[in-house]
């Protein structure tokens, strides 16, 4: 699984091709 850094500065699993992840 690939991980990306969201705008919150937390590594989350990349679920979108654009590399954007949303925090729960």
How confident is the model at residue 11, as a pLDDT? Answer: 59
How confident is the model at residue 12, as a pLDDT? Answer: 59
Per 3-state DSSP, the chain is made up of helix, strand and coil in percentages (nearest 5) of 0, 25, 75
Instruction: Read off the pLDDT of residues 1-24 as tens digits, 9 standing for 90 and up.
Output: 455 665 655 655 655 555 555 544
H-helix segments, the chain? none
How confident is the model at residue 4, as a pLDDT? Answer: 62
How confident is the model at residue 9, as a pLDDT? Answer: 59
How confident is the model at residue 6, as a pLDDT? Answer: 56
* pTM for the predicted model, two decimal places: 0.16
Question: Which DSSP state fits 9?
Answer: S
């Amino acid at each position: 699984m690939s991980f990306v850094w969201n705008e919150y500065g937390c590594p989350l699993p990349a679920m979108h091709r654009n590399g954007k992840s949303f925090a729960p």
